[in-house]
Amino acid sequence: MENKIHQIEQEALAEIEKATDLKSLENVKNKYLSRNSEFNNLKKGMKDIPNEKKPLIGSLLNKVSQKLTSLIDEKNQIFYQKELNEKLLKEKIDITLDGEYIPQGHVHPLSQTINEIVDIFNYLGFSLIDPKLSPEVEVEKYNFDLLNFPKEHPAKDMQDTFYCTSAKNVILRSQTSNAQAREMMNTKPPIKIISPGRVYRNESVSARKNNLFHQIEGLYVDKNVTMTQLKGVLNEFIRLYFGSSRPTRFRSSYFPFTEPSVEIDVQCIMCQGKGCPTCSNTGWLEILGAGMVDPNVLRGVNIDPEVYSGFAFGMGVERLTMLKYAIDDIRLFFNNDERFLKQF
């Protein structure tokens, strides 16, 4: 047994001596010190050694095992350093090189405008409507009837509104005002919400009109809501959205669901009010319709118009974006032309 141990020791020492790198040293370690090595098998054979010889053989095995382990570790350290130094010399990084350009996508200009407007109205105390109360696929009742549209109103005509051919009364909403009645039936006043989204109109497409576009609806219902507040809120919105320098005007108008009604125009950015094709030579562009909620609408959703009043407004997102950035064709928003989108 002792001879066998010494023999293995000599062999192992010779092989450690011969090892030239981490890999070959690892092989030696496996061969002599791993669990299945011959040396380890000798340790397992201890139980067959006569008792009086056990201390001697045992300590010899330990001594040799420790000696081999520390020799291998020592050499391992040297090889590791050597290989690391070689690697560091070879793999130099030039930190002055330019980084690789990774193009990044970004938010669509219309979504940017919506986000901006939502932020402004949040600041003015309006919160976002629950999207469930603002569906794009709608029934006539919410888009028209509860908004005080007479049965024969021209907007209800197939030429203006997209009707579903397989289900009666189902339409693509023509205005975000569809959210008004839903919100008022769902929530007791005070109500102060905005509702952004897509709307659809059966119109011929041109530089100024698309049959899909975006609106942001606003609705404020409480005791003692006044027209002055409506003006104040919308003027403040315009100031915050455009900066203070844009001339605007309030014009009286008509909507079935507001009384009195107004429209707000902003001076045309293309011609600075002088008149051009974009503004049909008027010098002004309409950005929103608004007014005091008609008492008939309040009654229709069981809110007492003697106690409560409200105002509503609906603005065109494309128009507002075109006016801010001097974009002269609405179709640019929908063509997905990167040369256009990249500029935002």
Give me the residues that bind ligand PHE (CB under 6 A), please: 175, 177, 255, 258, 289-291, 312-314
In the chain, the amino acid numbered 228 is T
Q: Between residues 83 and 160, which has the closer beta carbon with respect to ligand PHE?
A: 160
- We find the least distance from the C-beta atom of residue 172 to ligand PHE, in angstroms, to be 13
Give the tokens for residue 154. 């021209």
- We find the least distance from the C-beta atom of residue 98 to ligand PHE, in angstroms, to be 51
Give the tokens for residue 66. 């420790």
- We find the least distance from the C-beta atom of residue 314 to ligand PHE, in angstroms, to be 3
Q: Between residues 236 and 286, which has the closer beta carbon with respect to ligand PHE?
A: 286
Residue 321 pairs with which residues in a beta bridge?
Answer: none
- We find the least distance from the C-beta atom of residue 344 to ligand PHE, in angstroms, to be 25
Contact 266, 284 (CB under 8 A): yes
- We find the least distance from the C-beta atom of residue 240 to ligand PHE, in angstroms, to be 20
Q: Between residues 79 and 313, which has the closer beta carbon with respect to ligand PHE?
A: 313
Listed in sequence order, the residues at least 6 apart from 317 whose beta carbon sits closer than 8 Å to its beta carbon are 110, 113, 114, 117, 196, 213, 214, 215, 216
Beta strands in the chain (DSSP E): 127-128, 137-139, 170-172, 191-200, 212-222, 248-255, 258-267, 284-293, 309-316
- We find the least distance from the C-beta atom of residue 311 to ligand PHE, in angstroms, to be 8
- In terms of Cα–Cα distance, which of 326, 325, 297, 327 is closest to 311? 297
Q: Between residues 104 and 252, which has the closer beta carbon with respect to ligand PHE?
A: 252
- We find the least distance from the C-beta atom of residue 162 to ligand PHE, in angstroms, to be 15
Contact 199, 138 (CB under 8 A): no
Contact 113, 324 (CB under 8 A): yes
- In terms of Cα–Cα distance, which of 139, 114, 141 is closest to 128? 114
Q: Between residues 19 and 288, which has the closer beta carbon with respect to ligand PHE?
A: 288
- Phi, psi dihedrals of residue 213, rounded to the nearest 5°: -150, -175
Q: Using CB positions, name the residue nearest to ligand PHE.
A: 314
